[in-house]
Amino acid sequence: MAFRFVLLAAFSLCVHATFAQVTDRFAIIPKPAQLEAGTGQFTLDNATTITVPAGQPDLKAIADTLANKLNRTSGLGILVQTAPGSTTTGKTIQFLPTTDATLGNEGYRINVTEKRVTLESGTPRGFFYAVQTLYQLLPPSVMGIGHWARGIGKDKSAPSPLPPAPSPLPSALTLPVCRIQDRPRYPYRGMNLDVSRHFFSVEYIKRYLDLMALHKFNNFHWHLTDDQGWRIEIKKYPKLTEVGAQRRETIVGHYDDADPQVFDGKPYGGYYTQDDIREVVRYAATKYINIVPEIELPGHALAALASYPELGCSPIGLDGRPYQVATKWGVFEDVFCPTEKTFSFLEDVLTEVMSLFPGKYIHIGGDECPKAAWRKSAFCQQLIRQKGLKNEFGLQRYFVNRIDKFVTSKGRRIIGWDEILEGNGTSLRLSPNATVMSWRGTKYGLEAARKQHDVIMTPGQFCYLDHFQGDPATQPTGFGGSLPLSMVYSYNPTPTSLSPAEASHILGVQGNLWTEYIDTPDQVEYMLWPRAAALAEIAWSPLEQKKYEDFTRRLITHFDRLTALNVNFARTFFDAKPLARPTSDGKVVVMVSPSKESMVVTATVVRYTLDGSLPSGESPRYAQPLVLDKSATVRVATFSGTRPLSQLANVQAEYIVSKATGKSYTLLYAPTTGRPDRNFSLTDGTTGSMGGYEVAGVVSFVSDFGAVLDLGQSQSVNSVRVGFLKYTARNICLPKEVEIAVSEDGTTFTPVLTAKTNAAENGKRGIARLPFDFAPTTTRYVRIIARNVRQVPAGLRNPGKTAQLAVDEIEVF
């Protein structure tokens, strides 16, 4: 039997008294540059007015939106008045333009007294951000009425909060007396959304922009084309949406979940008409958000090639089949061919794109461009020679430069992923206008800055929000990798290694959400928030203001706002952290501690059950390590009083208790360096886990697996069970045969069982716990040998490749 450990996560923050110690009227995210708290408060009532100077229609629109929001929340009738001069009398929220250059283009000041609220800025954009701060000075429930709180596409694909306790509207809307002076650290504060892998409606894009605006992001990077779908209407090339916007089916689960891969058999499609695009662009402008459209080239082009095969280097793909919109994820070898026909096509497409998007930036992709099609193409090889290029990487530089020059000629600037820096050794240079988006770590961004290129930092280890934010066993399917909230917040886009001149080229930071495994609005939000809030603070707040503990304290109140907005935010950083170890007498000790983030909440406790039921506020409180002398199902959850902080999830991580637990053994064959044995990890009671592409907690072998287990004393045994990883997509197969032998002295062994296993078994990946039963015998030592199949069998993804064995926990009964 198994002892299972479950991390639970459910959250409801609507009972404000529960969090009295940390609920803060200045819980503003991102944190302002300067804030001076006073005493007292400004109370909004029916006598309150909002005043704006005459002849300022942009300010009037911002003030109208503020008034509508406050009135819907409070039931008041606050009016917006146009003041003839720069000052006014009476109880008012006053918009006061200033020429103070220290505020820059996006900065603002707020002065709250008991009788007046004054907002100052030199630009409408600055006033807009001042209002976003005002919203966060008001009670969180102010966010919960009207357009912002609409629920769009809600579903159960991602963990959702428990039903919140009723939260009445405040009897009065108040603002704390304070002074704030604020401006952003970086001019570019971006969020990306991939709509090619999975499509999201115009209405949801607007909600995405709403949440960006509240957190003072100012650039929306819209990933509109890729191998799996072309999502923007191009009038001159209608097949891009007639063909390229549709795929015949979609892979089920993770890319490596099953071997062979499984598909859903359902057509999938969607695209934005040009009218849709204009609508979103207009809406974004009201939020002071610029949209950066991305048209991928020269790689990630299958949707375009399926629509217009003549844009490839051959009439059909490298696999010998006609081009088709990709039905699974990954990088594909078929790419645009650098012919004049292709460049004419791309220039036409970009011309239409530039007519729709008024911003200065056009993203051209440039990443992950395989060179196989170009190497096989006689045309490409001739072009390399003709242009004096060094190789296919030089050809990529040529391709990017052609597009760069075209976009620049139209008065715009390209952004490209950091691969646009590749192709050295040629005379071709990127234009000074080219901006590099650094995703493969920080190295290439720093290199670009030193070459005087503007840079947007978005390294995967800090900014890729499709990575897991908690234990993969408790999370929806994700790409892989781990990116907890604390890791996001720790990032500094401008390291001290850059000189001031070089540092000036770091324009800002961006969070990316790739949607291979994210197909609903609920799951989008679950992956984004609160990690995107951490990125917002990185992008806006002064570096010296950043303190993670302070951020998490403010985040507690911010969760009330997100709850009011019906945002499906994650709560994984409230998960308790378990640690289990075996004892010498064959027991398992489970130690549990709450996360440091949860400790900022009043009355945080960990509660547990031993019968497999979900913990409640009445479950026993964890006070000391749990000592298990038999298998059990253990579940824990973090609570504040009787209210759960973490989300209730039924996915389990397994712990093992048997006669082998805590016992030493000798390996007969050396494990690989990639997955070595650590401190008798095959009998420590802890099983392996997997998420995305990663597998943890197993020991792998290229040769056979063999171990001699010392039970410590002679005793009766009649069964051995061994966990083997089945991951044939990565060439890890089950053994073809397992031999069990016993010995009293550890030298002379008597075979008790030889069993054939199905090494060619396919299907879903996982850890197969194979039982081997035999007649009862008394022994001290048990020898287990598993024979490797040597080569991946036919019928699997990689037949003929060198096979590995990967072993998990050993049990003896």
The SS3 of residue 434 is: coil
**Is 91 within 8 Å of 48 (Cβ atoms)?**
yes
pLDDT at position 424 is: 67
More confident residue, 614 or 163: 614
**For 407-454, what is each residue's pLDDT tens digit?**
999 999 999 999 999 886 666 778 888 999 999 999 999 999 999 999
| DSSP letters for 3-45 | EEEEE-B------GGGGTTT--TT--SSPPSEEEEEEEEEEE-
DSSP H helix total and E strand total for the chain = 17, 38
* 622 contacts: CB under 8 Å, gap ≥ 6: 576, 592, 605, 606, 607, 608, 636
Q: Which helix (H) or strand (E) holds 774?
A: strand 766-787
**For 73-118, what is each residue's pLDDT tens digit?**
788 899 999 986 545 567 899 999 999 999 999 999 999 999 999 9
Round to whole Å and give the CA distance between 649 and 683: 27
CATH 3.30.379.10 intervals, the chain: 32-153+164-182
pLDDT at position 653 is: 59
pLDDT grade, residue 39 (50/70/90)?
Answer: very high
Provide the mean pLDDT of the chain: 90
Tell the burial category of 585 from Cβ atoms under 10 Å away from its Cβ (0-12, 13-18, 19+).
Answer: exposed
pLDDT at position 431 is: 81
Half-sphere exposure of 322 (CA within 13 A, CB side): 7
Residue 811 pLDDT > 90 = yes
pLDDT at position 430 is: 80
pLDDT grade, residue 160 (50/70/90)?
Answer: very low
CB atoms under 10 Å from CB of 803, counted, come to 22
For the chain, percent of residues with pLDDT exceeding 70:
92
**For 560-579, what is each residue's pLDDT tens digit?**
999 999 999 998 888 888 88
Task: Take residue 441 and report the two structure tokens written for it.
Answer: 């770590």
Cα–Cα distances in angstroms (integers) from residue 293 to residues 67, 269, 349, 356, 369, in the given order: 33, 19, 12, 10, 19
**Is 336 within 8 Å of 395 (Cβ atoms)?**
no
Cα–Cα distances in angstroms (integers) from residue 246 to residues 54, 228, 229, 249, in the given order: 51, 8, 6, 9
For the chain, percent of residues with pLDDT exceeding 90:
75
CATH 3.20.20.80 intervals, the chain: 190-539
Task: Take residue 544 and report the two structure tokens written for it.
Answer: 């010296």
**For 703-723, what is each residue's pLDDT tens digit?**
999 999 999 999 999 999 999
Nearest residue to 418 via CA among 387, 479, 463: 463
CATH architecture of 32-153+164-182: 2-Layer Sandwich (3.30)
pLDDT grade, residue 763 (50/70/90)?
Answer: confident
**Is 90 within 8 Å of 82 (Cβ atoms)?**
no
Angle at alpha carbon of residue 366, lines to 363 and 371, rounded to 5°? 160
Round to whole Å and give the CA distance between 109 and 116: 14
**Is 571 within 8 Å of 601 (Cβ atoms)?**
no
pLDDT grade, residue 609 (50/70/90)?
Answer: confident
**For 345-385, what is each residue's pLDDT tens digit?**
999 999 999 999 999 999 999 999 999 999 999 999 999 99
| DSSP letters for 623-652 | -S-EEESS--EEEEEEEETTEE-SB-----
Fold category of 665-812 in CATH: Jelly Rolls (2.60.120)
pLDDT grade, residue 332 (50/70/90)?
Answer: very high
Q: Where are the beta strands (DSSP E) in 610-749?
A: 626-628, 633-640, 643-644, 653-656, 665-667, 689-691, 694-696, 699-701, 705-726, 737-743
CATH 2.60.120.1190 intervals, the chain: 665-812
**Is 546 within 8 Å of 538 (Cβ atoms)?**
yes
Tell the burial category of 132 from Cβ atoms under 10 Å away from its Cβ (0-12, 13-18, 19+).
Answer: middle
pLDDT at position 150 is: 41
610-615 long-range contacts, CB within 8 A, separation 24+: 610/634, 612/4, 614/8, 614/648, 615/8, 615/639, 615/644
* 475 contacts: CB under 8 Å, gap ≥ 6: 468, 469, 572, 651, 691
Going by the DSSP 8-state scheme, the letter that residue 163 receives in this structure is P
Residue 299 pLDDT > 80 = yes
pLDDT at position 802 is: 95
* Type of residue found at 654: E
| Interval 462-481 mean pLDDT | 89
The SS3 of residue 375 is: helix
CB atoms under 10 Å from CB of 566, counted, come to 18
Round to whole Å and give the CA distance between 593 and 438: 37
Round to whole Å and give the CA distance between 213 and 209: 6
Task: Take residue 12 and report the two structure tokens written for it.
Answer: 């409801």
| Interval 185-193 mean pLDDT | 98
Which superfamily does 190-539 belong to?
A: Glycosidases (3.20.20.80)
| DSSP letters for 519-570 | -SHHHHHHHHTTHHHHHHHHHHS-GGG--HHHHHHHHHHHHHHHHHTT----
Residue 770 pLDDT > 60 = yes
**Is 690 within 8 Å of 726 (Cβ atoms)?**
no
What would the 3-class secondary structure string for 201-212 be?
Answer: CHHHHHHHHHHH
* 398 contacts: CB under 8 Å, gap ≥ 6: 338, 383, 387, 389, 423, 426, 428
Round to whole Å and give the CA distance between 544 and 564: 31
Candidate list 347, 368, 502, 761, residue with the active-site label: 368
**For 654-678, what is each residue's pLDDT tens digit?**
788 999 999 999 999 999 999 999 9
Round to whole Å and give the CA distance between 537 and 485: 12
Q: Give the orientation angle of helix 548-564 with respect to helix 531-540, to 10 degrees.
A: 120
Q: Look at the pTM and tell me if it is higher than 0.75.
A: yes
- Active site annotation includes 368: yes
Q: Which helix (H) or strand (E) holds 808?
A: strand 805-812
Round to whole Å and give the CA distance between 464 and 483: 8
